[in-house]
Each structure stands twice: as C-alpha cells, then as structure tokens.
Amino acid sequence: MIQIRDLSKAFNGTPVLRHVTLAIKAGETMVVMGRSGCGKSVLLKHLIGLLKPDAGSVHVDGIDITQLSGRSLDKLRMKFGMLFQSAALFDSMSVGENVGFALREHTTMSPGAIRKRVQECLEMVGLKGIEALAPSELSGGMRKRVGLARALAMHPEIILYDEPTTGIDPVMADVINRLIVALRDQLKVTSVVVTHDMSSAYKVADRMAMLYNGSILQVGTPEEIRRSANPAVQQFIRGEAEGPIQEGLPDPNAFSRLALGVSAARGKPR
C-alpha cells in the first residue's frame, strides 16, 4: 500500500532521513518508533506529500506521491487521514467546524449529513456533544482527540497517527489504542503510528520499525522486536539510559559540576 524507497531528507545541511526504505501492507498497522528528534514526524509528512524529499520515493497504491503537486496531490491525499502531533486545529473554528472541515471542502454532503458525521466521529473518540467549543477551551488530550475525529471524518483508507497517545491519560490512551485496532479490524484501514509510547506500540502494532540515526534499524513483529539481538533496539524498547544510544543525553559531569556549585554557594556565609 505504501512503499518508501531510499528516502533522504536534510534540513540546512543536517541529514534527518538517510535512505529510509519501508513497505507498509494494505490493512496493517505499522508502528514507527524512535527517539525524540530522530525524524518520525518528518517521515510521516513525506507519506502525505507535506514535505518533499531530497532523494527517494513514496509510492501510495502505486503512485509516487513525491512527484505530485496541485490537484493530483490533493486527490491522492483524500485517501489519508492524518492526526498531527500538535493536533493542528484551526483556532478560529469551533470543534464541530474543525471536524467537518474536509467534508465541507471536498464533498457535496448536506449540512445535516455533515453534522451527523461530525457527531459520530466525536463519539468515536469519547467527546460527544462538544461541537460548539472553541479549540482554546480544550485540554491537550481533548485537542488530540478532536484532531483524531477530524482525521476520521472522510472515511480514510490510510490513517497516519503522530503520537496518538502522548499527553493523554492512561485510560483514554487505551481507548485510543482500541480505536486504532478497531479501525483496522472493522474498516480494514492501513495505519502508520509514530510513537515512543511502548505500551501503546505493542497494543496496536502488526509490525514495528525502529528509526535510528535517520535509517530503519529493524522491522519486525512485536515478538521479533522484543527478541531483537540489536543492542540499540533493546535499549530503546526497555527505556534504558545505558547502551549504544548515547547522543543527546545529558552530560553526567554537568550534574556533578552543578552539585559542587550548589554546595559551594550554600556554604558561603551571608
């Protein structure tokens, strides 16, 4: 369904993605995990044509989305629903208008039918009856769920989820996990879920891919990933500070310098 080949992208000379190759089958849920800043959101944005790569391709149902623009890009994008990491709601519109936005723009549905679909989508994410609220009146977790309701509105074939459970309480996170699974099982939706929430990853994944240093380090079923012989994969899934993944971690010497500085300052007579 989605074939990512040799995808590379740099920003201001700094490579973020290096020759990423990954295939996502129709109807499966692929979880892409990796450390903060490793390029997960950048990868997702390439799948929907919001970013153009420096090299490589992304075929969606056989069509290379990286080569499209204008109307043909808009048309292919209609297959997708995307939940952005920051929810990306329009602040000037109510919740109901946000969720129904694409329906108003891209379909000939009547206002009544749109209202009904908006209501259904909000119910699916556990937010019945909040159509009239403004995005500014929502908590972080509510914003995320409204973003998800908006992603579902157009009956997408493919859903891209950027950190669907981050910033959401554990009970609601599980509701979201179950929704992701139900969309796959009942509607045969193909999904890519970007997350560093390992408990969510194991609950929703058919397969998992670990992005590290700009490339896919390993792809496999949750069981294969759990049993991975790769030390960086093991370190990540166990959430340990000790291991081959070191860059970007705080410098322990900085803590001891800080502690010395604090005790010296405390020891000074006033």
Note the residues at the interface with ligand ATP (CB under 6 A). 11, 16, 34, 36-42, 85, 196
Q: Read off φ and ψ for residue 27, nearest 5 degrees.
A: 85, 0
In whole angstroms, how close is the CB of 194 to ligand ATP at the nearest point? 7
What is the rounded distance in angstroms from the CA atom of residue 144 to the CA atom of residue 96? Answer: 14
Nearest distance, CB of residue 72 and ligand ATP, angstroms: 23
Q: Which is nearer to ligand ATP, 13 or 252 (CB)?
A: 13
CA distance 267 to 270: 9
Among residues 267, 5, 47, the alpha carbon closest in space to that of 156 is found at 47
Residue 81: phi and psi, rounded to 5, are -120, 135
Q: Which is nearer to ligand ATP, 11 or 255 (CB)?
A: 11
Query: Toward ligand ATP, which CB reaches closer, 117 or 196?
Result: 196
Beta strands in the chain (DSSP E): 2-11, 14-24, 29-33, 55-60, 63-64, 80-83, 158-162, 190-194, 207-212, 215-220
Of the candidate spans 13-21, 52-60, 78-86, 232-240, the one that interacts with Mg ion by CB under 5 A turns out to be 78-86
> Which residue's CB is nearer to ligand ATP, number 58 or number 127?
58
CB atoms closer than 10 angstroms to residue 170: 11
Q: What DSSP state is assigned to residue 139?
A: -
The smaller minimum CB distance to Mg ion, of residues 85 and 213, is found at 85
Q: Where does residue 112 rank: exposed (0-12), middle (13-18), buried (19+ CB within 10 A)? A: exposed
- Please choose which of Mg ion, ligand ATP, none residue 235 contacts, taking the beta carbon within 5 to 8 angstroms, the exact cut-off set by kind: none
Q: Return the number of the residue (37 or 261) whose C-beta is nearest ligand ATP.
A: 37
Residue number, nearest CB to Mg ion: 41
- Tell me how far, at minimum, the Cβ of 178 lies from Mg ion, in Å: 23
Supply the minimum distance, in Å, between the C-beta of residue 155 and ligand ATP: 27
Which partner in ligand ATP, Mg ion, none is near 11 (CB below 5 to 8 A by kind)?
Answer: ligand ATP
**Minimum distance, C-beta of residue 220 to Mg ion, in the bound complex (Å):** 22
Least CB distance from residue 134 to ligand ATP, whole Å? 26
DSSP state for residue 154 in the 8-state scheme: T
Give backbone dihedrals phi and psi of 135, rounded to 5 degrees, phi first.
Answer: -50, -35
41 makes contact with Mg ion (CB under 5 A): yes
Can you give the binding site for Mg ion, defined by CB under 5 A?
A: 41, 85
